[in-house]
Amino acid sequence: MAAAGTGRNIGVAVDFSACSKNALRWAAANLAAPGDRLVLMHVKSSYQYEQGVAHLWEHDGSPLIPLAELSDPRVSKTYGVSPDRETLEILATAQRGVQVFAKVLWGDPARKLTEAVHKVPLHCLVVGNRGLGTVKRVLMGSVSTYVVNHAACPVTVVRENMLPAALTTSH
pLDDT, tens digit, for every residue of 108-133? 999 999 999 999 999 999 999 865 55
d(CA 25, CA 121): 21
pLDDT in tens, 16-49: 989 899 999 999 999 999 999 999 999 987 655 4
DSSP state of 62: P
- Quickly state the pLDDT bin for 14 (edges 50, 70, 90): very high
The pLDDT value given to residue 99: 94
Name the H helices within 7-108.
Answer: 18-30, 51-57, 67-70, 73-79, 85-92
Whether residue 164 is predicted with pLDDT greater than 70 in this model: the reply is no
Number of domains making up the chain: 1
d(CA 131, CA 117): 24
- What is the value of pTM for the model shown? 0.82
108 within a domain of the structure (yes/no): yes
71 within a domain of the structure (yes/no): yes
Residue 61 burial (10 A CB sphere; 0-12, 13-18, 19+): buried
pLDDT in tens, 63-107: 999 988 887 888 888 887 878 889 988 988 887 899 999 999 988
4 within a domain of the structure (yes/no): no
98 within a domain of the structure (yes/no): yes
16 within a domain of the structure (yes/no): yes
15 within a domain of the structure (yes/no): yes
The pLDDT value given to residue 103: 94
Domain of residue 89 covers 9-169
Task: Read off the CATH number of the domain in which 158 is found.
Answer: 3.40.50.12370
Please state at what angle helix 109-119 crosses helix 143-150, rounded to 10 degrees. 30
122 within a domain of the structure (yes/no): yes
1 within a domain of the structure (yes/no): no
